[in-house]
Copies of this chain bind each other. A is one copy, B any other.
Amino acid sequence: MSEDAATRLLTGPVHVIGAGLLGTSIGLAASRAGLTVWLSDANAEHVRTAIGLGAGQHPPAGETAQLVVVAVPPLHIAEVVADSLAGGAVVTDVGSVKALPLDQVADRVDDAALRRYVGSHPMAGSERSGPLAGSAALFDGRPWAITPHVHADPAAVRLVEELVDLCGAVPVRLSPVEHDLAVARTSHLPHLLAVLAAGQLTDAVPEHLTLSGQGVRDVTRVAGGDPELYGQIIRGNRATVADLLREVRGQLDDLIAAVDDASGDALETILDRGVAGTQVIPGKHGRPALETGQVYVLVPDHPGELARLLVEIGEIGVNVEDLRIDHDPGRPSGLVELQVEAGAAERLRAALEDRNWTAHR
């Protein structure tokens, strides 16, 4: 997807509307690439902050941008996209759902203007928000869905692809409806099931919660996200999410029947399907999931000890695919779980024990 500057269609100016986390980060990335970036936001303080960070400048009166990037909250996307199309620019937005805003835009503009609209959705974010959380590196290596409708102008699509490319993200082309089906399954449904699992904890007596392990922490983490934002996102994909939830309700009924049934193997069949689901998620760098092995190491919980461990693993010559620090409830040490290539796990464990670490698999 990389384009030589000589053949690049995207020459700016880029007008970013909405100087929050995503808008400011796009402004920083486009500025880094040498493009002129204009910034606007209903909140003048956000614009000042983003400009102060080097994400762009105030839009000059009477000029038209080549590309407008709409990075406003979900409820305002369609209106801002439609207004921006009226100015003659190519317009994209970075909202989390794609079919509903497209319909809403189509209701507001003529067919010629609609050809210049190409929705998109970067799979990046942060639990923080606002321009101060922005970074030119936010999108590095992340998937960024590009969701042209069937009548979109190919040149407009290419312009958006170039934006994705200069932000360092990996473009994934999907139709708006496909996109919404995809995120319903890979994001909205897992989010809502995590919310139900987390919600059940609010009914627990505190003493029972001392038995919480890493599993429940992992399952429920995303449920900590901003309810107002997630509410808007899920409402924007309402029909698709509701269909999926109804499917899950049927599966929950099957699960209840399977748990009630003391004999039979219906429960194992359901659990098998869950295992299969964990195996279809693409692996690191989009490669097939690497078969990994775990090595657990006890690490004193103060600065420098984790570093010393990683230095020694580097000396041993094993690459760490993933690392997790297990929160232990009783003592000033952490159990670090290392994921390494399956074939290297035993060698790593033995080498760490030789170096006087307490390690096991």
Q: Which residue numbers of A lie inside 8 Å of B, CB to CB?
A: 123, 126-128, 132-135, 137-138, 140-143, 145, 168-170, 172, 174, 178-179, 181-183, 185-187, 189-204, 206-213, 215-225, 227-228, 230-231, 234-235, 238, 241-242, 244-249, 251-253, 255-256, 259-260, 262, 265, 267-268, 270-286, 293-294, 296, 298, 301-304, 306-307, 310-311, 313-314, 317-325, 327-335, 358-361
With A135-B361, A137-B360 given, name 8 new contacts (CB 8 A): A191-B215, A196-B255, A212-B281, A224-B275, A249-B252, A282-B329, A284-B329, A307-B311
Q: Which residue of B lies closest to A134 (CB)?
A: B360
Q: Give the residues in chain B near A211, CB-CB below 8 Å.
A: 123, 143, 145, 172, 174, 179, 182-183, 186-187
Q: Is B140 a contact partner of A335 (Cβ separation < 8 A)?
A: yes
A195→B219 CA distance, assembly (Å):
10
Q: Is B187 a contact partner of A213 (Cβ separation < 8 A)?
A: yes
A223→B170 CA distance, assembly (Å):
28
Copies in the complex: 2
Q: Pick the contact of A199 from B134, B270, B310, B317 — CB < 8 Å? A: B270
Instruction: Report the minimum CB–CB distance from A237 to chain B (whole Å).
Output: 9
A179→B209 CA distance, assembly (Å):
10
Instruction: Report the minimum CB–CB distance from A195 to chain B (whole Å).
Output: 3
Q: Is B260 a contact partner of A242 (Cβ separation < 8 A)?
A: yes
Q: What is the predominant secondary structure among interface residues of chain A facing chain B?
A: helix
Q: Is A194 a contact partner of B206 (Cβ separation < 8 A)?
A: no
Instruction: Report the minimum CB–CB distance from A73 to chain B (whole Å).
Output: 14
Q: Is B187 a contact partner of A201 (Cβ separation < 8 A)?
A: no
Interface centre among A192, A211, A280, by most chain B C-beta atoms within 10 angstroms, is: A211
Q: Which residue of B lies closest to A322 (CB)?
A: B325
Q: Is A328 a contact partner of B200 (Cβ separation < 8 A)?
A: no
